[in-house]
Structure 1
């Protein structure tokens, strides 16, 4: 086989690989079968809120952009909200995931139904780097509950960005702003 034919075949194979790679669904908030991650965790039928002994509302700071220098140059960040059920035995129920911008206005409400996170499971939800609707003071409000009054879920955010050839990442922890325990 001549070099010209091998080169042409190599270019053809490369083009096919590029095409196939472009066809892959790269949306991080989708399951392998294309369903929205949060929708896939829907509780059906809805859980009984009165049977929940643990209830909490968590504030999670998010940064969709940060200032990089004194010239007010902003760097865009991708942000991942991570909700971790740390219980070996009990499910964690989430009834609200709301995203607010720097001015305190609701940008998006991610749930119109409750979801359930199995024991020791985690759900992550990504805010794309190009979405700067939250600004430098954005936050999530996450309302959660469980049947076990001793639940200790872990809610965090991880931000990733780059400028030039420098990459950086940092995380923030969620803070309880409205905890309550129902006594049986």
Structure 2
């Protein structure tokens, strides 16, 4: 049998301390893996912060950015009137009103042709005109959207409020998409829903936006 003195000291040390050495290597590996995961998550969050652009607060649309130019409305062969249901409040708890904030969203879903909006009017539950949002014809470019906000504190519309939008376009253009999105809060609860526009029959349309 070989004498222990014939083995190098480092080999003898390893033989005596191999359990502790394995434990130490395990700890180092665990710390290294944790550090890599941590740094990877930090880099991912940093990239998300760089990419994320917070939505801007609502501002009334600048109609000057939607100029229709010198157009002859008579040349458009397609025209329509859209009725969009809206609610400045709904009822709950035995008839108590819950105030809602409403966003009217009008979208040109055509990929090639513009859509022209001649009038956007807001009526209350009694059918009385509350507000006219346009004083001129405006143009929505392909895939462009315009929005109008009725704030929660504005309860003039009532539970039966509605918008009436008159529009025109080329015959080949798709009809615009119009929706009213309502949202409200009561304590810790919140409610949100939307209503799509209903196209009026030609005999019932208001092509000139007449009040």
Find the counterpart in structure 2 of residue 91 from structure 1: 114
The CA RMSD over aligned residues, in Å, is: 1.7
Match of 1:145 among 168, 171, 179: 168
Instruction: Using structure 2 for the length normalisation, give the TM-score.
Output: 0.66
With over 3 angstroms needed to count, the CA separation of the structure-2 counterparts of 1:100 and 1:39, relative to structure 1, is farther
* Higher share of residues assigned strand: 1
Is the contact made by 1:158 and 1:171 (CA closer than 8 Å) also made in structure 2? yes
Find the counterpart in structure 2 of residue 29 from structure 1: 59
CA positional deviation for 1:66: 0.7
**Equivalent residue of 1:104, what SS?**
coil
Structure 2 distance, partners of 1:65, 1:129, is 8
Structure 2 distance, partners of 1:140, 1:161, is 19
Listed as ranges, the matches of 1:103-182 within 5 Å are 103-179=126-202
* Higher share of residues assigned helix: 2
Structure 2 distance, partners of 1:103, 1:52, is 33
Is the contact made by 1:54 and 1:151 (CA closer than 8 Å) also made in structure 2? no
Which runs of no fewer than 5 residues in structure 2 stay unpaired?
1-55, 204-211
Structure ID, larger Rg: 2
Is the contact made by 2:114 and 2:173 (CA closer than 8 Å) also made in structure 1? no
Which runs of no fewer than 5 residues in structure 1 stay unpaired?
1-25, 31-35
Find the counterpart in structure 2 of residue 43 from structure 1: 68
Instruction: Using structure 1 for the length normalisation, give the TM-score.
Output: 0.75
Is the contact made by 1:54 and 1:147 (CA closer than 8 Å) also made in structure 2? yes
Aligned residues: 148
